[in-house]
Structure formats: structure tokens, C-alpha cells
Amino acid sequence: MIAEQDPRQGPDSVIPAGSLAPAFTLNSTPDKSYSLADLKGKPVVLAFYPADWSPVCGDQIALYNEMLEDFAEYDAQLLGISVDGVWCHRAFAENRNIHFPLLADFEPKGEVSRQYGAYDTKGGISKRALFVIDGNGVVMVLMTGKVNSLVASPCTGGSIAGYFYGGDLLIGFSGGNSAEVFYAAVPDPNGNLSCTHSANGVKRTVPGTFIHEFQHMISFNHHVLQRGSRTGEELWLNEGLSHYAEELGGRLFLPGDSTTFCYFIFGDLYNSAQFLASPESHLLVDTAGIGGLSNRGAWWLFVRFVVDQFSTDTTRNANNVVTRALGMDDDIRVSVRSHRALPGDRYLLCSDGLTDALDEETIADKLGMHALTPDTVVRAQMAA
């Protein structure tokens, strides 16, 4: 289930991802009702909103209405829910040409909204929240304005489009949801939460961000859950592979998708340009923190460099052999922790425990250098 909640409306008591969605039956018209149980086996999208005729809600519902073909592609049933009555819903739907059901959580007032943690007791209305429920009735993703609010306006250093939290996969961890959850920002065209995010902007950025965070989820599962690492994958490689995954996603977008290759790759190109403009100011490899945009650009370039050098050909399958060797090796530890790049320099970074496909002899041969031992860095001036 995806859940989106507006952080201006009190504590985030929304039911956590990984939970079973509460059952309900609500009317959309006096003689037509919808039950969650009747929809089991297909994805269901519940869009809670405060009121039919409020300005922001009108735009929100209109946006969902424009995306009905996207929901249909995944055989997902979209349902709007507010505390308005059925006749109010009918007038609003006719006025705005809405073509999906609007359900009346009218009496007992807000009962279903309360069950989902999406009721504003002070205002007596539903909170703005979006739940995506899978065919088994389980919450999978959380879209919330709290992500928007992580960076204060005017977001001069960028904004956060979404993230994955490893604690959600740790059994018994009190701060997690015990489920695979992706958190994403929501449209905020008026900048009520932080800097502005248009609906189209979110549609363009979230897909690449989802792929990025899904790669983090894969890495966390492999290194922490399966192999018991306490530190996980090294920062530069973890982020480098996730940014590389964005590029792969961009090469697989479908005809008609609103997010095309340029939107998947733009951030990586921008970040790498920042690094190349001043390489001596940024760490080529790093193991602490989360990394600035310029560093991430460097890590993406470095992963691409390794892929280009060691793939047996230019096909995606051959490239994937290399990235899987990087991502699956528990012992990769780049020797230099804080060496800064110098303009015009070329680096060969040797590591312990590289797979056969990426051993030091192979690296040296590829770059025309002598074989190196671990904990050694060779810096050679680029040929003129």
C-alpha cells in the first residue's frame, strides 16, 4: 500500500506500510457501494481528501482523473474518499467531469478515515492521504508530504524526491515498518510544504528515484540481511550502483510513458558535470555520510567507467555481469579513503577481494599499467 499524508495536519498516525488494509464498505451513490473485500486480487488506490469543493482537493482529484489510463494499465481500482455525502460527491463529479468513484465516509462520520489514520479530528475532515493496496491487501509504498518537508524552502541545494529506509526491513526494529517500503514526495504546486513540486514534476522524478532506492533495497538485503554486514555496502559503490540503476531504468521506459530517458538521466549528468568542473574539490571514493551531488556524480562516472572497461561487449547483459560482480562482492574495500582527484589525473584504485572478473591483473592490463598490490594507488598523468 502507498500512503500519502499531509504533514500540516497533525501527527502522522497513518497505518504503516506492510499492514493489512482495514476493510470497509462505502457508498458512492445512494444505490451503489464499494467494498475492499470485493476488490481483493487487484491493486486498489485509496485517495483520501478533505472536501469536494476545496481548491487544492479539486486539483488533486482532477490530476487522478487525468491518470485513469495509467491506473487501468495496472488493472488498479482508484477510489476517492472524503466525509462529503453522496449527493455532494455526485454534484462535484458532474461539475469536474470525474470518472472514478468518490466514496462517502459520511456516517458514522470519518469512520474509515480514522481506521486508516487519515482523519483530522480538529477540522472534522479527512486528511489528504494516498494508499496503494496490493492484491493481497498489504501496504507497499508511502507517498507523503513529510518527504517534501525534509528540505526547507527555497531548496537551493536541491530537494528529496524519495528514499528507502533499511530499518523497515529489520525484524523487531521499533522504528521500522517490517516491510519493503519506498517513501516519495507528493505534488505541492503552491509550496505549502516546502519548495514547489508540480504534479508533472513528481511524475517525472519519482520513477527514477524509485529505481534508485530499489537498488539500495537490493543492496541492503544482500549485504545486511543475507550476509550479516554491520556496515552494508561502501558508500561510493552503493550510491554509484543506484545512480547507474537510474540510467538502466531510463533505457527501459515504455512508449507513452511520461518519464522518458532524459528525466531518468538528467540528475546524473548534472551531478557529474559538477564533479568534472572541480574534481580536486571532491572525493572520488568515500565511505561516510551520504555524499554531496558532486560526489555522487563522480561515483556514477566511476561505476560507468568500470562497466565500460570490463564488459565483454556493449550489451546490457554483459554490462550487468560487471555490476553484479561489484554489487555482490562483500570484500570490496577501496584502499584510498580520502584521496582527492587532481585535474588531468587518471586513477587505478586497487581493492581486496575483487571477483575474478575484476582482479588487479585484469584492471592493470585494461589500463596499460603494471599489476598492483592491495592498498596501493597509482596515479598517472593522462597522455596528451
What's the DSSP call for residue 166?
A: G
Average pLDDT taken over every residue of the chain: 76
256: confidence class by pLDDT, cuts 50, 70, 90: low
pLDDT tens track for 313-352: 888 888 888 888 876 654 444 333 333 444 443 333 333 3
Most confident of 83-87, 166-170, 189-193, 305-309: 83-87
pLDDT at position 2 is 38
* Domain stop point among 109, 128, 148: 148
**Domain identity same for 34 and 137:** yes
* Domain stop point among 148, 183, 218: 148
137: confidence class by pLDDT, cuts 50, 70, 90: low
- The answer to whether residue 76 is domain-embedded is yes
- The answer to whether residue 161 is domain-embedded is no
**Domain identity same for 367 and 294:** yes
pLDDT tens track for 13-46: 567 666 678 889 999 988 889 998 888 888 888 9
pLDDT for residue 71 is more than 80: yes
pTM: 0.59
Distance CA 119, CA 117 (A): 6
- The answer to whether residue 59 is domain-embedded is yes
- The answer to whether residue 116 is domain-embedded is yes
Q: Give strand ranges (E) for 60-120.
A: 77-82, 102-104, 119-120
Smallest Cα–Cα separation from 362: which of 296, 298, 309? 309
* Domain stop point among 101, 120, 148: 148
Smallest Cα–Cα separation from 213: which of 168, 246, 237? 246
**Domain identity same for 101 and 234:** no
**Domain identity same for 352 and 245:** yes
- Residue 58: which domain range? 7-148
133: confidence class by pLDDT, cuts 50, 70, 90: confident
Q: How many domains does the chain have?
A: 2
| Cβ neighbours around 290 below 10 Å, total | 11
20-34, 41-55, 279-293, 370-384, range with the lowest pLDDT: 370-384
Most confident of 4-8, 128-132, 251-255, 317-321: 317-321
Catalytic residue set:
57
Higher per-residue confidence, 359 vs 355? 359
- The answer to whether residue 108 is domain-embedded is yes
> From residue 89, how far is each of 80, 104, 107, 243 by CA, in Å?
10, 7, 14, 44
Higher per-residue confidence, 145 vs 14? 145
Sequence-distant (6+) residues with CB within 8 A of 278 are 294
Q: In 3-state terms, what secondary structure has residue 271?
A: helix
- The answer to whether residue 12 is domain-embedded is yes
